[in-house]
Amino acid sequence: MQNSHFAQQTSARIDVADAHAVLSAYLQARLHGQPVRIIRSERLSGGAIQENWLIEAEVAGVAQRWVLRTDAASAVAASMSREQEFAVLSAVHQAGVKVPAPLWLCQSPEVIGRDFFIMQALAGSAGGHRLTSAQGVPEGNPALCRELGANLARLHQLRPPHAALAFLPPPLADGVQASVDQYRAYLDALPGSHPIIEWGLRWCELNKPAPMAARLIHRDYRTGNYMVEAGALSGVLDWEFAGWGDPREDLGWFTARCWRFARPDLEAGGVGHLDDLLAGYRSVSPLALDHDTLRFWQVMAHLRWAVIALQQAERHLCGQQRSLELALTGRMVSELEQELLLLTQGGRP
């Protein structure tokens, strides 16, 4: 969960585009002295919390494509450090989850002035509108949905305690109530009143399902955060909010209407049907999930995104970070509130 407490980086920041020489030397040392020449670097779209840079290079004359991931100008308190994210990425990669292969972590400030890590670049596209607009048939892409479900189930095989992930806060006895309390605290810190969001929070308190044993969850597993090449899953991105939690939270987030983009009729992330997603999941791990429980986690997803949208809008309105993107995110709140009312009215939305 993002919050309104942003801390500016204190170290001297070096633009990646201005650091090719020092980055080449760093990479050459990691590659046992093989000559490295960076041909070009390009900041990738998105990344309000972290920056992602595509690095195209030659290693002993052989072309390579990497992604450098580092903090953006403002860091979010709830987001883990690059060292921690690298550890999570390494753990899930070893568990067989489709992710970019993590390569090197750098914590030497003399390179670009802040921590970063480098991972293998994936082929394909991650754009939510592009991926969902490409689903031109009623059934979407069943094979992709099954891949996404199986990949999520492999992630959920990791459970506490886990030696490589000992830095993660331990799972809570009542994670739902903790989230409701956190969202209420965030709302209290914002100007104005938001009765529909308050209604949704109270509804969640009264309709909590029995908890499941904690697993490692992504907490942002959705269309827009995975790469697709030729209709198949290349890998899942953006692991900075991962932690121990109820695995059904990831399924509610993935299937929430707010992440279906151009195909709201396709419940599985705008790319396919729920049955295919769940079939893929169950091919790896058993899962009991009825409609009412999934609806609960979809309500939680819309609540979370509504609070984030309000916080992002406030960052723009108060002058903390003037941004058209942040302002437009705030305009989504009314749509999220409408979906909250539809989901909580007692019947099928």
pLDDT tens digit sequence for 150-178 = 999 999 999 999 999 999 999 999 999 99
pLDDT of residue 349: 39
Check: CB of residue 247 under 8 Å from CB of residue 254: no
Q: Cis peptide leading into 161, omega within 30 of 0?
A: yes
347 pLDDT tier (thresholds 50, 70, 90): very low
Tell me which of 71, 96, 120 is where a domain ends. Answer: 120
77 and 95 inside one domain = yes
Residue 219 has pLDDT above 90, yes or no: yes
58 and 148 inside one domain = no
Tell me which of 99, 120, 141 is where a domain ends. Answer: 120
199 and 304 inside one domain = yes
Residue 98 has pLDDT above 80, yes or no: yes
Amino acid at 68: L
77 and 157 inside one domain = no
102 and 136 inside one domain = no
Residue 290 has pLDDT above 50, yes or no: yes
Residue 1 has pLDDT above 50, yes or no: no
313 or 4, greater pLDDT: 313
5 pLDDT tier (thresholds 50, 70, 90): very low
Flag whether 349 is in a domain: no
253 and 333 inside one domain = yes
Angle at Cα 206 formed by Cα 203 and Cα 260, nearest 5°?
40
Flag whether 213 is in a domain: yes
Average pLDDT over residues 323-340: 91
Please count the structural domains in the chain: 2
Percent of the chain, pLDDT > 70? 93
Residue 7 has pLDDT above 80, yes or no: no
105 and 162 inside one domain = no
Flag whether 1 is in a domain: no
74 and 154 inside one domain = no
123 or 11, greater pLDDT: 123
Query: Which domain covers residue 30, as residue numbers?
Result: 6-120
Flag whether 259 is in a domain: yes
Flag whether 325 is in a domain: yes
286 and 155 inside one domain = yes
Average pLDDT over residues 63-70: 97
Average pLDDT over residues 182-207: 96
73 pLDDT tier (thresholds 50, 70, 90): low
pTM of the model as a whole: 0.92
Q: Characterize 175-213 residue by residue with b for buried, 16 or more Cβ atoms within 10 angstroms of its Cβ, and e for exposed.
A: bbeebbeebeebbeeeeeebebbeebbebbeeeeeeebe
Tell me which of 79, 103, 120 is where a domain ends. Answer: 120
106 and 166 inside one domain = no
- Range with the poorest average pLDDT among 40-49, 56-65, 188-197, 211-220: 40-49
Q: What one-character-per-residue DSSP string does 213-254 give? A: PPEEE-S--STTSEEEETTEEEEE---TT-EEE-THHHHHHH
Which span out of 215-229, 310-324, 326-340 was modeled with the highest average pLDDT? Answer: 215-229
pLDDT of residue 8: 38
Residue 212 has pLDDT above 80, yes or no: yes
61 and 147 inside one domain = no
Report the CATH number at residue 35: 3.30.200.20
> What is the rounded average pLDDT for all residues in the chain?
92
Q: Across 181-332, where does the E strand assignment appear?
A: 215-217, 226-229, 232-236, 243-245
159 and 201 inside one domain = yes
Report the CATH number at residue 147: 3.90.1200.10
